[in-house]
Amino acid sequence: MEPIKDVHVAERGLLVVDVAAADEETALAFQAALAGRWATATADRTSRDPGEPGVRLRCYLDVRQDLASGGL
């Protein structure tokens, strides 16, 4: 995966989440669960690292806004 950039963690409440899962469906389902709760910049696909099991996915979260409770 690409290195994490300063802008992605420049403020309190910003997160970079790297996910490893057995398959793309599982990784995307986890990302969807995160996006249902917080503002999330989602990935549209997963990647595979040669020699590593499963798939990888990175998404970016802003937990300063709790979308589930109408915190917009």
Query: Residue 47 in 3-state DSSP?
Result: strand
Predicted confidence (pLDDT) per residue in 32-69, tens digit: 999 998 888 988 899 998 999 999 999 999 988 765 55
Q: How many CA atoms lie within 13 A of 9 on its CB side?
A: 8
pLDDT of 9 reads 77
Which pLDDT band holds residue 1 (cuts at 50, 70, 90)?
A: low
Backbone angles phi, psi at 21, to 5 degrees: -145, 165
Q: Using alpha carbons, select from 42, 14, 16 the residue that is nearest to residue 30.
A: 42
Give SS3 for 72: coil
Residue 70 has pLDDT above 60, yes or no: no
pTM of the model: 0.77
Q: Among 10, 12, 19, which Cα is nearest to 59's?
A: 19
